[in-house]
Structure formats: structure tokens, C-alpha cells
Structure 1
Amino acid sequence: MTMPAAVILGCAGPRLSADERAFFRDADPLGFILFARNVATPQQVRALTGDLRDCVGRAEAPVLIDQEGGRVARLKPPYWRVAPPAALFGALHGREPEAAVEATRLNARLIAADLAPLGIDVDCAPVLDVTVAGAHGVIGDRAFGEAPAVVAALGRAQAEGLMAGGVIPVMKHIPGHGRARADSHFELPIVEAGRAELEACDFAPFRALADLPWAMTAHVLYRALSGNQPATTSSAVVRDIIRGHIGFDGLLITDDLSMQALDGTHAERVRAGLAAGCDVALHCNGDMDQMREIAGVVPALTPLAWERVERGTSQRAAARDGADAEALERTRRRLAMLLDRPVA
């Protein structure tokens, strides 16, 4: 087969323009990512995901979204429920560990029930970053907490809930964004912690969940690991830490290459991320000029990366539970009881 391009792209609005349709047809990205700007109603989102896949002629082309819960949720009321932030489940774990694991899994199953009927089959969650005192608030309550074992347990439950509903989870931000003191959307965070401390804390949840199908890199520079290169563009971090120490062998995608943590042109960022060992470049903002620049340099997906894509699809298929509307209603009621709060 002809391999798609090793890139996932965004689009500008709730409907594709003629220029976007032609561009995506020619660029043939592996898949797409949606943001709030792309979302209006369920019918509209279903039409958009169908149109995106029609552009590349692949019904299985992945469509991603960031639907973590809490403040990072692209789908919002009145059509979609408000899911709690990860920190709420972490707090529950401190009181009732088993209830917290169950609630996290049920919540993720309901998120999947929102996504899958829209044609969205990949969710950029769980966040496996470990909360560290003094860090920037960009992660904050998106994280399950400060204990690596708790983060791993709840992250596992979230991943299982998503896959049970037919949605591939993406653990992020590997190998850890939790102690960063800057927001990588706007500048490059620099972490001074030594490798032993990072292995014991930041890397531990990712290592515990290394069997998950997809992961997203951190635009974070770790002085002890990579000198002057952020993880996304550091072959040392990808080879020695992500693939080596952590043992992750799934599909590795970059965080958004339009973020200001990275230097260079967008073409240079793509080349650097893929040269470092990432399987797929991610570009989110839908800017046509930037996407054209990227399309001019991005190569086809490698056979190994395609094998990782297919492996993730198989993992998801094996985990699906086939729950019907009645079962999902029971899930909602059980989650409400565990959280002692209404769940839409």
C-alpha cells in the first residue's frame, strides 16, 4: 500500500473549504485533530469527520481530539457533558482508592461514548504527568496527582475506559511535563532535575503504562538528558528514555509543532521531530501556509510506524465492550454515586 504522510493536521473551522479539501487530498496526512473551533453540533462534527476521511480516501484515518475533562475539553454543553478534571479522581483516590479507579474508568467510558458516534476515534488522554510543587499551572488539575503509582493506576483506568468505548488513548506528555516551570505553548520549559529523580517520579507512570498504543511527547528540555534539545527533537530522549528506559514501543507523536517552545521554521521542526525518532508530526492550528510548508518536507509514514498504527487499532478492537444505551445509563448512575454529584 501507499503510505500516508507522517503528519496529523488540523483544519480552520467547522466545515472544510474547497482549498482545504484539495490540500488534504494531495498532502494525504495520516489523520486529523479537532479543536473547539471545529465543533458546533453533533451532526456537524459527524459531517466534518466524514469529510476529512473522504479527502484522504481512508475510512480508518484517525481523528483526534483533546477531551481530557475539566478545563481541557473541546466538546462542551449543551450537546456534551462536563467531565470532571483528573485531579478530582486523584483526590478521591486519597480517600477511596478502589472507588477512584472505578470512577476514572467509568468517566472515560462516558467520554468515549461522546466521541465515537462523532467519528472521533483517538483521545489525547490520559495525562500521566506527575504534579510537582512549584511547577507552572499549565498541567495543574489536568494531572491525577503527585504520587507516580496513583497517576499510573488512574491513567490505566482512563485508558481502559476509552478503549472499551472504541477510542484509542494517547498518554501524554512523555516522558513528563509535570515539573516544568513554564508553559510550553509560549516558551521552552527547562527541567534541572537529575536522571535518578526523573526516573523515580516523572518517568514512572509512563513506564507502568508502556503497553498503551499511542503517546505524545513533551516540549520540555531536561538538562540531565539532552543538553539543549527538548524531548520532542532529542534523539537521546526518544531512543534512550522513551524507547529505552520507559520501554514504549507504540506510536509516538509530537506535541503540537506550532507551539512556541520550539525554535526554527515549521519545516525544520518537522524534520527535527521525525529525525529524533518520533513516528508522526502533529500540527494543530489549521494555518494553511504553515501546513503547506510542512507538506513540502514531511515523508511518508515508515512501515514500522504503520505497524504501530495497526497495532493500536487492534488493541482498541479487542477492548471494546459493546455497551448499549441502557448500559451507558447504568454507567452514568454508578459514576454519579461514586462522585456523590450529578453526572449529565
Structure 2
Amino acid sequence: MKVKVKLKPIRGFILDWLCSLPILQEPGKDMGGNPSCFHKPWRALPESDQEMIKFLKSYLLLNKNTSHLRILLQGPVGAGKSSFINSVESAILGRIAGRVMTDATSGSSFTKKFKTFQICKDESRKTHCSFVFNDIMGFESAHGGIHVDDVKLILRGHVAEGHEFKADCPLSKGQGDYLSNPSLAEKVHVLVTVIPAAAVSLLTDDVIKKMRDVRLDASNLEIPQFLILTKVDEACPEVEKTITNIYKSKYLKEQVEKICLLLGIPMNSIFLVKNYNSEMETSKDMNVPLMYALRQMINFGEDFLNSQKGI
């Protein structure tokens, strides 16, 4: 007795095979079927944070006309500028730090004075890293927040430590907190704009204009510039689930592309970070994006300082 075997048409086999290929999978989904994330990170990060932390602790300036590399943080109110400084120190110390005061509820700028923050290398607090941060009052719409003219003076080193900002009264030449002959150490060597990832589309025209104005002035001074998008976990549920999705997130990549167009900052100078906020301990996965961004800032700042030798 012959057994009839019904063979599947060759066309059916070919279609099944083609549909199994990644290129013909449902558009917008990665290999794991997640429509919100790419299969691979669109920017590769180092696997470990330790080598970067070691570099930041041991970094020494070649230009001996300054004892430190100065990084200025600017951005809208509530962007996470102060938290970024705390997060950097947390990563380097290996435990949560909070020397820079932050405010989670205020609708206006919590930082009122011009202050320099050093980062301790270890718990002895006897030695500091060779870079410092300046945290300033945030930008607000219309006439609120820090005045653009004050930020331009900071870039040039004309603002004294402890100066209290007044939105309607920028510092001017001849006033007590105005430094007439600033040293290289008092000038800004890297400008970093800080913006919440979920707020890119919510930035007002006033705030964008102020940040672009400062950016143009920094460009005229040839100061290297970066931008960090903070609070990435609040902007993307996939990153809230696991921070390692930070550079897989399609939404976050879209925000990087948007802010690139808005402010004219190249994509390779824009970084994603999650500041330490509710965490009680540091972790490698959170440290890596923070340290990666900071190391790039240091590298470009060092190049800038080396170009200033003899000035």
C-alpha cells in the first residue's frame, strides 16, 4: 500500500524561510520583539567603570598655568546640574555623595550663588581630582533665571566665587564681584549644557535662545562644548527597567537628534546619563555612562588647555 505524502509547495517553504530572516521581521521591532529598543546599542559603552575612574583620579594637567580644568554646567531650571556633580563624586568615591544641595520641588532655580566644586578622590578628602565643576542658576523663560550676560562673564573668568546672581541685574565691570584680570584657572575650559531627556520638546523659545546665545559666545572663545540629557529613566520606561538599555532606546535617540538640531551640538558631543537620585548604593551600570561622558569632557578640555599655553 502506497502512502501519499502531501508536500508543501516550494513557494511556501521559501516564504517561511524569508520571513524568518531579521530583515523581514515586523518593522520597528528588534530581534527580541521589543518595539522600543534597538537590538544593539547605537553607541557602544565600555564594559567596566573602573578604568575610567582610575583615569579621572590620576588625570594631571599638562598646562601648568592652571591647577585644574574648569567645567561649567548650564541649563534650564531643574535639569539636574547639581545632581550630576553629586553623581560624579558618588561614582568616584564608590558610595552615594550629596555635597551639592538639590531641590526636587522648586519651580525656580535652587542654586543662587556662583560656586566651585572639587571632587574628592577618596574618603580622606585630602586629595582632589584635577577638574572642578561650576554650578549656576538655571535658565528660565522671559526675564527669569540667570542672565545670559552673567554666563558670558563666567566663561571669561570675570565672576568671583560666591557671587549671588540676580536675574534682573547682571554683574558689570567695576562691581565688587567682578574680576578684572582673571587667570587661566578662573576661566571656563569646558561648557556643558544639561537638559532633562523628557523636556527636549518642552523647551521654550526663550530658554533655547539663551542657551544658543551662550553656546555661540563659547564657540567664539573656542571652548569645547557638550550636552548631557539627564533623567533618562523618567523619559523611557525601558531604561527605567534596566539602565543598560540607555543607548538602545529609540525614544532617547530621537531626543538626541532633536536637541542636536535645536542647539547645533554634534551628536558625538551629546551624552545620556542617569543621575543618582533614589539609589542607596552606586552601581557599575549607572557609573559607566556618567564616567564615559566625563572622560570625553576631560579629553577635549585638556586639548583646549594645551592650546592656551603661553596665554
* Shorter-chain TM-score tier: 0.3 to 0.5
Query: Which is helix-richer, 1 or 2?
Result: 1
Using structure 2 for the length normalisation, give the TM-score: 0.38
Bigger RCO of structures 1 and 2 (CA < 8 A, at least 6 apart): 2
